[in-house]
């Protein structure tokens, strides 16, 4: 593997579930040395079965050590690891890291240059800080479920763990900013976000509608909340998305669809009036779009400069020629054979990240990792004999 931007950055990965591993995956894919620290024993519950599709996708490009942080000797060994690290990432409940004596103050005492990165459910302080949080709870508390789905059908979760993923993405950005600052100051920072903060951030224009105009957004289904027409329409074979809400695009769309008469309808003359009469407008458009297959419409609308595209299922996504061109699948070596996983979405021209190692067996790299932290073979043997180090 050629030199990557994060070569030489050592990360201790204490994460579980999805939000924390999403952050670490970015660092791993771009060259950081990731040491995954897990408790000894069977840790399927620490992130799903090790041979499962989810674990393989989240935990590629790492080394592994199985260390009991509750054991005095295991805790002491972890502090030695922390003294050699650049970054620690964790997404435990807020109070757990302090109970284990591995919080930011504990680790900065042995390594002031350390960037300590945390994700929680609801924040490191405040009335909900001790609660455990999962993605769907944050989707509900953070307002997303109230604006997702069709009007009148009640709250609806988004079909991916969007708060987990976004919190992990944002934490990776925070880590990089803290590492950049460390170049100037020589000192690390505690960087943290939460599922709730990530979700409130993602409310974006729906949030500012409330903050500035006092308007509480509701569910709009597949339609854009304020722009019309912009939504899903039936073609002869499968649904398509069409976005033609601006005055210019609306005019082009009407002419391309062969319905110049729509331009004379006063109820559809402005973006605001089209939104007010959305049901009738969508019905009229649907009557036209279902006359031809999706590709027929996509070819013509794209040629006219109108954004549009198919509504694909997951299989169709990976069969799409543009997705295939973007190389969004990597192969991870595994005991079962090479397994496909989702590639990084980031591109830096001239660099080619990829899979340097597969998912490690639990504790497979303990001796080398501990030796790099300064432990002698005798100390490693004693640590293992004490039960603090898994095999």
Packing angle of the helix pair 162-185, 19-29 (nearest 10 deg):
50
Q: Which residues are catalytic?
A: 164
The predicted pLDDT at position 115 comes to: 99
- Can you tell me the distance from the alpha carbon of 196 to that of 137, in angstroms, rounded to the nearest whole number? 9
How much of the chain is in helix, strand and coil states, percent to nearest 5?
45, 15, 40
Which CATH architecture does the domain made up of 10-202+327-385 adopt?
3-Layer(aba) Sandwich (3.40)
Q: What is the pLDDT of residue 45?
A: 52
Say if residues 368 and 67 touch (Cβ distance below 8 Å).
no
Q: Give residue 280's pLDDT.
A: 98
Distance CA 379, CA 383 (A): 6
CATH of 239-310, one of 3.50.50.60, 3.30.1540.10, 3.30.565.10, 3.40.50.150: 3.30.1540.10
Q: Where in the chain is the domain with CATH 3.40.50.10540?
A: 10-202+327-385
Is the CB of residue 27 less than 8 Å from the CB of residue 172? Answer: yes
According to the model, what pLDDT value does residue 43 have? 63
Mean pLDDT by groups of 10 residues along the chain of 391 residues: 88 97 98 96 70 92 97 98 98 96 98 98 97 96 97 95 98 98 98 98 97 96 95 98 97 98 97 96 98 98 98 98 98 90 97 94 96 97 96 77
pLDDT of residue 65: 97
What local confidence, expressed as pLDDT, does residue 315 receive? Answer: 98
pLDDT of residue 46: 64
CATH 3.30.1540.10 domain span(s) along the chain: 239-310
On the question of a cis peptide bond just before residue 210, with omega within 30 degrees of 0, the verdict is: no
């Amino acid at each position: 593997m050629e030199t990557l931007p994060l070569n030489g950055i050592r990360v201790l990965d204490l994460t579980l579930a999805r939000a924390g591993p999403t952050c670490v995956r970015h660092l791993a894919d771009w060259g950081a040395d990731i040491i995954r620290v897990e408790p000894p024993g069977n840790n399927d519950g620490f992130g799903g079965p090790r041979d499962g599709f989810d674990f393989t996708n989240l935990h590629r490009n790492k080394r592994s050590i199985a260390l009991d942080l509750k054991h005095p000797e295991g805790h002491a060994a972890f502090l030695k690891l922390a003294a050699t690290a650049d970054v620690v990432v964790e997404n435990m409940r807020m109070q757990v890291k302090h109970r284990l004596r591995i919080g930011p103050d504990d680790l900065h005492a042995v390594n002031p240059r350390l960037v300590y990165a945390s994700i929680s459910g609801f924040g490191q302080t405040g009335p909900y800080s001790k609660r455990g949080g999962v993605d769907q709870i944050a989707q509900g508390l953070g307002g997303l479920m109230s604006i997702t789905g069709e009007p009148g059908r009640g709250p609806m979760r988004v079909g991916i763990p969007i708060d987990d993923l976004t919190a992990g993405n944002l934490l990776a950005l925070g880590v990089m900013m803290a590492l950049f600052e460390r170049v100037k100051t020589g000192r690390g920072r505690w960087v943290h976000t939460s599922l709730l903060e990530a979700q409130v951030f993602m409310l974006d224009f729906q949030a500012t509608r409330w903050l500035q105009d006092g308007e509480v957004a509701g569910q709009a289904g597949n339609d854009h909340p304020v722009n019309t027409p912009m939504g899903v329409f039936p073609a002869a074979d499968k649904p398509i998305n069409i976005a033609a809400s601006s005055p210019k695009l609306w005019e082009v769309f009407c002419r391309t669809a062969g319905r110049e008469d729509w331009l004379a309808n006063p109820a559809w003359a402005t973006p605001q009036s089209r939104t007010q009469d959305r049901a009738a407008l969508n019905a009229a458009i649907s009557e036209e779009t279902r006359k031809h297959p999706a590709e027929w419409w996509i070819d013509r609308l794209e040629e006219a400069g109108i954004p549009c595209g198919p509504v694909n299922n997951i299989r169709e996504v990976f069969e799409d020629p543009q997705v295939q061109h973007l190389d969004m699948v990597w192969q991870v070596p595994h005991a079962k054979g090479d397994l496909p996983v989702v590639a990084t979405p980031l591109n830096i021209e001239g660099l080619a990240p990829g899979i340097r190692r597969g998912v490690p067996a639990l504790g497979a790299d303990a001796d080398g990792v501990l030796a790099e932290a300064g432990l002698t073979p005798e100390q490693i043997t004693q640590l293992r004999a004490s039960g603090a180090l898994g095999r």
